[in-house]
Structure 1
């Protein structure tokens, strides 16, 4: 307790001259005070130096947070922007409780993928900085998911985005794309991770211009010396602050078991789960599917709690493969084509061919095709005075997160007259 009190006093003494707003929210970078102080160089610690502090190998510890802690290589910083954020964390001691609850099923997977690539373990804390580990987060710039990928970056790295599935909100797809992007940026910025992380937030062009402008002016090109958008100036310090909290154990990070929490199982190309409540929890781990339980348009896999794998194997043997109450039949008429039918039902031609096991685009009049019942069960709702996302969600028996996902809403604010698309489950 004495050690922690002294550490907190040290941080507070360094930030005493700064004004921190009481109502500062987790992501309100714009409310942090701007400081013009000469930056301190931030060398990285060698992995050998870090490893010598811990007698137990990272994989052998019981807590994923401690597994991360043992591998932190970014040097601590006393820059005011970093200390301001450290101070904020210390004033919100319950924040990490929420973070650990959300990260519990995800963090082991993320850490393992980062280690496989030999990337800095600090990158495992970026979803904390980006979204508080919220897989369905949206930003006003149309970035989405755990890693806040924009549509352009997501598609560049092979992520599928269609009316049924958004891979930016899938743990596996988004993590792969984010780490690919960060690896590219690290190389683009000659091995400088602070520049790479800043570029992840604001775009490589802005960071390159800021570096070049400082170079021409004979100024330092250290991250803290660059003239960047306000959000980005606080983005990297937030990550450094989080690593310092963990490394120096300034506040508790509720333990997350250092063992696999999820498994990945195979899935037929077109699947609609039944209404069995035993599988409703899968929606929380498979948020990429926009119209759960219709698992359409995405990869041929499903993420689930590891203790449900055997139960799923038995259930999957009886998944519907022929028309049932969850499917409907469509009879091909004169003038129809696969592209016309697919467009009418908000499907892709490849999905339509997959549902019906078609090997070509040729169809004939009178032929019967299988379509998901949910394909045309949507409703347009016009926002009225007094409405809120919570009230609308309750009225239609859907979740607030799904309302946001379907309509790409970055916050809960609604305007009277705005039209919302709501997808209703088949009765």
Structure 2
């Protein structure tokens, strides 16, 4: 989710929880009286203990007394809760919504262990109590949008007051965000659209959800722990097959996240009788909540005031904003909107010498992409790579086809290759310590145990880069020494203290 400008306050009035209401465990809500199985009860107890440990370690009254110990304590609690969440979808009566809610509460007081690109949700930039013109445009009774299988979306989609208000916002204060989303999507389209096409879903809805959720930034991470282009919560992502593989969180994979999103929508279209508005509401507010509100209703509608006003303010705004972005994707010419022409043909670039994505972005410059250069596109198409970690020659990179020739012209030899290398070497260089002034030797200290070498994680660093910096034999070796699970290799929190002695022995 990208950082909306201050004027987002004019269309959003929601809680800081952001995307904490992402899709939850399928099916209707479980009765409060239902006794969970022993396995589920054990997971719930574990989650409760982890949450208490997390907040105890984050208590401002004690945190400064032992920052290193408390940081390790709340990080361990967060990671253990994540492990428990991974087990929940495997147990029939375990409710993943309980874990999502806990993660939202924990991240409300402090950001969870994050990637280098922690993004604020549009909702998180809005102050509670602000009015929203989207919600103020009174909903009309009756469906305005219904997705019927076999019909083009434009054939069945009509506009009402809230959607028109959202259209105006996308075309005014949010136009830069809309254009960024379109550009990012065009380079990712060959990875994402086929998944929607196979699922029989309209591409415009994929674009609308992505525009609202992440702006097309693959590494977007919300305060509540929702991640990726389509902002899956950890438990929900695992429910739809998004796991951690080789240290890489698959919620950041464009194709896999699109597949999971399509599977979720089709599942809920069957539940809500192909009513697209209710499905989109469920994606944001949780299908259990929407099912409870529509249960027993004859031909229920998202716009029915008896349903609409029982939903959170965030969800009341979310649905028309997604629909408006989808409508603009289909009909830009009707609104004096012109999307840029993007050459998104995919290609493969094989490095001919060692280089990082950041170094390539410098030497590639802005040719072919005058808007903002190529760094974002390189990151989006190669989400598993640390952008500042040097990749060895012969490494294949996913790039737009036009960059293959540009790489050979700009990045192998010449002035831009030299500039990029010079800047990169400066980043890698370690400042020399100041010269020591000769002085009398102090008396020898009393013998004490030698402290193990430690390293404080900086913003933008990943475990692989730190392992390389200290000469570890493998990332797994450093992770094991610090109790880091494979799922967290790429998301260690800045400020965390790592024991790196295993690398220097």
Q: TM-score interval w.r.t. the shorter chain?
A: 0.5 to 0.7
Residue 204 of structure 2 contacts residue 330 of structure 2 at CA under 8 Å; is this kept in 1? no
1:250 aligns with 2:352: no
Residue 72 of structure 1 contacts residue 121 of structure 1 at CA under 8 Å; is this kept in 2? no
Q: Could you list the runs of 5+ residues in structure 2 that have no partner in the other structure?
A: 1-6, 13-121, 363-374, 408-467
3-state SS in 2 of match to 1:303: strand
1:120 equivalent in structure 2:
202
2:96 equivalent in structure 1:
none
How big is the shift at 1:328? 4.6
Q: Deviations over 1:373-396 (max 9, x none)?
A: xx8xxxxxxxxxxxxxxxxxxxxx
1:420 and 1:75 mapped to 2: Cα distance? 49
3-state SS in 1 of match to 2:398: strand
Comparing both structures, which one devotes a greater share of its residues to strand? 1
2:303 equivalent in structure 1:
224
1:304 aligns with 2:429: no
Q: Deviations over 1:91-112 (max 9, x none)?
A: 2344433333333312343233
| 46 and 130 in structure 1: CA distance in 2 versus 1, 3 angstrom threshold | same
How big is the shift at 1:238? 0.9
1:24 equivalent in structure 2:
10
Residue 381 of structure 2 contacts residue 398 of structure 2 at CA under 8 Å; is this kept in 1? yes
Q: Deviations over 1:224-262 (max 9, x none)?
A: 1222111111111112222333444214142344x6533
Comparing both structures, which one devotes a greater share of its residues to helix? 2
1:262 equivalent in structure 2:
346
Q: Deviations over 1:116-172 (max 9, x none)?
A: 321123322210121111222222221011100111111222223379422212212
How big is the shift at 1:346? 6.3
2:11 and 2:386 mapped to 1: Cα distance? 28
Moved over 6 A (4+): 45-49, 264-267, 309-312, 338-341, 345-350
1:410 equivalent in structure 2:
none
Residue 247 of structure 2 contacts residue 486 of structure 2 at CA under 8 Å; is this kept in 1? no
Q: 1:39 aligns with which of 115, 136, 141?
A: 141
2:379 equivalent in structure 1:
283
Q: Deviations over 1:198-221 (max 9, x none)?
A: 111121111111112xx3xx6762
Residue 76 of structure 1 contacts residue 240 of structure 1 at CA under 8 Å; is this kept in 2? no
| 289 and 176 in structure 1: CA distance in 2 versus 1, 3 angstrom threshold | farther
1:287 and 1:143 mapped to 2: Cα distance? 16
Number of paired residues?
A: 293
Q: Could you list the runs of 5+ residues in structure 1 that have no partner in the other structure?
A: 1-20, 51-70, 268-272, 313-324, 332-337, 351-374, 376-401, 408-418
1:347 and 1:306 mapped to 2: Cα distance? 38
Residue 221 of structure 2 contacts residue 227 of structure 2 at CA under 8 Å; is this kept in 1? yes
1:346 and 1:265 mapped to 2: Cα distance? 36
2:180 equivalent in structure 1:
98
2:140 and 2:346 mapped to 1: Cα distance? 45
Residue 177 of structure 2 contacts residue 215 of structure 2 at CA under 8 Å; is this kept in 1? no
2:346 and 2:232 mapped to 1: Cα distance? 23
Residue 213 of structure 2 contacts residue 230 of structure 2 at CA under 8 Å; is this kept in 1? yes
Higher RCO (C-alpha under 8 Å, 6+ residues apart):
2
Residue 195 of structure 1 contacts residue 223 of structure 1 at CA under 8 Å; is this kept in 2? yes
1:307 and 1:74 mapped to 2: Cα distance? 38
The root-mean-square deviation of aligned C-alpha atoms, in Å, is: 4.6
Residue 196 of structure 2 contacts residue 258 of structure 2 at CA under 8 Å; is this kept in 1? no
2:283 and 2:198 mapped to 1: Cα distance? 21
